[in-house]
Structure 1
Amino acid sequence: MSGSSFEEHIGYARAVVDGDRVHVSGTTGFDYAAMTISDDVVEQAEQCLRNIGAALAEAECSFADVVRVRYLLSDRDDFEPCWPVLRRHFGDVRPAATMLVCGLADPRMKIEIEVDARRGSGDRD
């Protein structure tokens, strides 16, 4: 649990650990401590990844263990500006990835990121 009010209101966990698998729910750019969100998609992407990084760390793994990532955006034109941020976290990891354009739960949300990780997979060649 991340402390996000969304988890309580909707009824889900930020991440679920199942053996060596870690499933991190779709994570938005909200700062969950303050429940604020930037208007800038790149800042939202940065915050998404801080939130995901915290969930992965609590599950005793890291971005190096991510094997699958899904990007959900409300506007396809917002994806390319996020690439440098995404590359910084996943460029050496090279997880399988998908980007979808869809409506998100709150109109302030511009990007949501979901990852699946496998503990110890960061050791792969």
Structure 2
Amino acid sequence: MTDRRLISSGSKFEEEIGYSRAVVIGEDIWVSGTTGYDYSRMTIEPDVVAQADQCFRNIASALAEAGATLDDVVRALFIVPDRADWEPCWPVVKKYFGKARPASTLIHAGLQTDAMRIEIEVTARRRA
């Protein structure tokens, strides 16, 4: 039987709502939708590009705890409430995913709060 390991970012949301930042089973890692909060300060920048960058740093931290990197990401889901916010994020996405080039999808939908301008969910598979 494969062990299931839960990873937390320390965000109060995970405890209050009842979810994990990431779940690891075998070589597979599922990272929850991650916003641009700086969890060490529980603050969020107003700029979508800064939020996208923080999203990736938060995701990279969860992946590192799981023994993986952003280069191991195989699938990404991007959610932005305002489609005009997507194109400014392209350079940030390329910066972090230029090597991995995961399969990805973009959807436009409302997020938990109006301050959140982008959310990113990823699936990764550790390499042998």
Normalised to the residue count of structure 2, the TM-score between the two structures is: 0.93
Residue ranges of structure 2 left out of the alignment (5+ in a row): 1-7
Return the alpha-carbon distance in structure 2 between the equivalents of residues 31 and 93 of structure 1.
24
| Distance (whole Å) between structure 1 residues aligned to residue 111 and residue 63 of structure 2 | 23
* Residue of structure 1 equivalent to 2:57: 50
Corresponding residue of 1:118: 125
Identity among equivalent positions (%) equals 58
1:66 to 70, 73, 78: 73
| Residue deviations 1:104-124 (CA, integer Å, cap 9, x gap) | 011100000000000017xxx
1:105 partner amino acid: Q
Please give the alpha-carbon distance, in whole angstroms, between the structure 2 residues aligned to 1:81 and 1:9: 32
Deviation, structure 1 residue 7 = 0.2
| Alignment root-mean-square deviation, CA | 0.8
Aligned residue pair count: 121
Q: Which runs of 4+ in 1 moved over 2 A?
A: none
What is the TM-score with the length of structure 1 in the denominator? 0.95
Matched, 1:101 2:111: no
Q: Which letter does structure 2 place at the counterpart of 1:101?
A: H
